[in-house]
Amino acid sequence: MTTNNLHLYNTLSAQKQKFTPIHAGKVGMYVCGMTVYDYCHIGHARVMVSFDVIYRWLIHLGFDVNYVRNITDIDDKIIARANENGESIFALTDRFIKFMHEDADNLGCLRPALEPKATDFIDKMQGLIKTLESKNFAYQGATGDVYYAVDNFADYGKLSKRKLNEMQAGASERTNVATDKKNPFDFVLWKSAKADEPSETKWQSPWGVGRPGWHIECSAMSTCCLGETFDIHGGGHDLQFPHHENEIAQSEGATGKTYANNWLHVGFVNVDGEKMSKSLNNFFTIRDVLKDFHAETIRFFILSSHYRSPINFSDTALKESHTALSRLYHALKPFDKNDILINNDEKTQFWASEFGQTFTNAMNDDFNTAKATSVLFGAASEINKAVKNGDYEQAKQFAKLLKTLAEPLNIAQSNPNEFLQAIIGEEQGLSKNEILSKIEERKQAKINKNFTLADKIREDLKSQGVELEDTRQGTTWRRV
Ligand SMILES: [Zn+2]
């Protein structure tokens, strides 16, 4: 095992600190996963890819990593969507779990070691709520819902650096909603069932028939899989408050021990400079983006920024990522797969080289993938220089080095020719959607007998490198 010199930014301590695992050589990592009622979007992609690289880097450092990412398969949105569709919640969630796995696989992410589903842990959640009740952290309101009493947890707000009294003052100015909560920031641990809810979303409990609140799911599942105190807890930046704050209140309230030693949060994804949201209609599913861009381009785009910084998602940014990634593949192109088989001795040597050390230092500095990828471009320049000088052996060595260092990022590992072939047209010219809408426009022009317009559309596309062919089955296209 290499010497562990990993430093990470811990949201809890609000500083970068040396990573010290609880058990030498082992890491327990819990990441809040998806609520499975719809397709994953590009914000989910960022969390998946960022923690995939964190996972791979920890493994690279020699740690035995237990990576747990939960699946929320019971929730208001799930119940509402299943009702809308007229199907059972399990039919809905099974389908979207499958789609989530397809998306993550496409993006080159390793599956977590464990993916616990909330509905398999209802007993554990009830056990935790009982403990909280016995320690005066939980109470049942008049409506039958069981709440967490935030006033009784002295450290409430320590993760998000919020003070309860300041939040309360702000909240009381804005809202005055009738509630059976003792404090407006008290949150639901157990929701009592409404009469019209289907039986599959109801469980018996000491507090009546109902279902768990969202926050208690993660406290129960993480502790069952990783123990009462574990090394790393991660998730999207938006989960810091209230979700992660509430997880801490629940778990530390129940055990009296530190819950997670290190908290890692992945930054927001903005779209064309604005926050991505369904209401702004600037929401992209991973599937949508994959229609226009290679999965590795999306992965590379995510890794070109530090995981904590906000990133701006746009066609231009993806095209730039495409160009950058193509540079790596162009450099690797002269070498046959068999030319760059790399043995373990060579790997050790590459990691010990100046390039390897710079890369390692970047990754050990809070997983700075932006800096680490710049080392790969340095290696690509060396390959190109050596090729230009006719020094094939030298070029081959740098090609092996590039592939070795890029491995923990899981980029530049494909066959260069296949990759470059697959991405033709991504960088410039029209996207698939744009081409399809032009074809549709031409079809309409023909229906309207406007053949001049139909011909013009065909010529315009041709000048942009897209050739159409009219067949009996309809119009097909190819890039030329
Ligand atoms: Zn969670």
Q: What is the pLDDT of residues 125-139, one digit of tens each?
A: 999 999 999 999 999
User: From edge to edge, which strands make up the β-sheet containing 210-212?
Assistant: 138-140, 146-148, 187-192, 210-212
What pLDDT is attached to residue 274?
Answer: 84
Name the band, by pLDDT with cuts 50, 70 and 90, for residue 46.
Answer: very high
Q: How far apart are the first and last CA of the chain?
A: 50
CA of 187 to the centre of ligand 1 (A): 14
**What per-residue confidence (pLDDT) applies to 262?**
98
Q: Are 78 and 32 in contact (CB under 8 A)?
A: no
- Return the sign of the alpha-carbon dihedral for residues 332, 338, 344, 345: negative
- Please tell me the distance between residue 215's alpha carbon and the centre of ligand 1 in angstroms: 6
What would the mean pLDDT of 63-92 be, rounded to a whole number? 95
- The per-residue pLDDT for 426 is 62
Q: What is the pLDDT of residue 258?
A: 98
User: Rounded mean pLDDT of the chain?
Assistant: 92
For ligand 1, the distance from its centroid to the CA atom of residue 19, given in whole angstroms, is 22
Mean pLDDT of 142-171: 91
Q: Which residues contact 474 (CB under 8 A, 6 or more apart)?
A: none
Helix (H/G/I), strand (E/B), else coil: 274: strand
Whether the bond into 242 is cis, omega within 30 of 0? yes
51 CA to middle of ligand 1, Å? 14
Spacing, Cα 118 to ligand 1 middle (Å): 10
**Cα–ligand 1 centroid distance for 31 (angstroms):** 7
The pLDDT, as a whole number, for residue 118 is: 97
Q: Give me the sign of the Cα torsion angle 358, 363, 365, 367.
A: positive
Question: What is the distance in A from the centroid of ligand 1 to the CA of 67?
Answer: 14
Q: What was the pLDDT predicted at 172?
A: 60
d(CA 331, CA 327): 6
For residues 55 and 67, what is the distance between their CA atoms, to the nearest angstrom? 7
pLDDT value of position 428: 56
- Give the pLDDT of residue 195: 80
Q: Scanning the structure block, which residue is given the tokens 């799930």?
A: 78
DSSP-assigned letters across all residues of 9-21: EETTTTEEEE---
Mean local confidence (pLDDT), 235-250: 96
pLDDT of residue 173: 56
Q: Give 100-125 pLDDT, tens digit per residue.
A: 999 999 999 999 999 999 999 999 99
Q: What is the pLDDT of residues 319-374, one digit of tens each?
A: 999 999 999 999 999 998 788 899 999 999 999 999 999 999 999 999 999 999 99
Is 396:339 a contact under the CB 8 Å cutoff? yes
Reported confidence tier of residue 1, pLDDT bands at 50, 70, 90: very low
Q: Flag the least confident range among 44-58, 186-200, 272-286.
A: 272-286
The neighbouring-strand residues paired with 31 are: 69, 234
Distance from residue 244's CA to the centre of ligand 1 (Å): 7
User: What percent of the chain stands above pLDDT 90?
Assistant: 79
Rounded-to-integer distance, Cα 97 and Cα 72, Å: 10
Q: Of the given ranges (13-17, 314-318, 373-377), which has the lowest mean pLDDT? A: 314-318
Ligand 1 centroid to residue 35 C-alpha, Å: 10
Identify how many contiguous H helices and E strands the chain contains and give both numbers. 17, 15
Q: Is the pLDDT of residue 435 over 60?
A: yes
With 70 as the cut, is the pLDDT of residue 170 above it? no
Kindly give the distance from the C-alpha atom of residue 221 to the centroid of ligand 1, in angstroms, as a whole number: 9
Express each pLDDT in 452-476 by its tens digit.
Answer: 999 999 998 888 878 888 887 788 8
Compute, in angstroms, the gap from residue 463 CA to the centroid of ligand 1.
51
108 in the Ramachandran plot: left (φ > 0), alpha (ψ -120 to 50) or beta?
A: left
Q: Is the pLDDT of residue 442 over 90?
A: yes
The three-point CA angle 33-207-156 to 5° equals: 50
DSSP assignments along 164-183, one per residue: HHHHHHHHHHH-----S-SS
Indicate whether 29 pLDDT > 60: yes
Ligand 1 centroid to residue 218 C-alpha, Å = 5
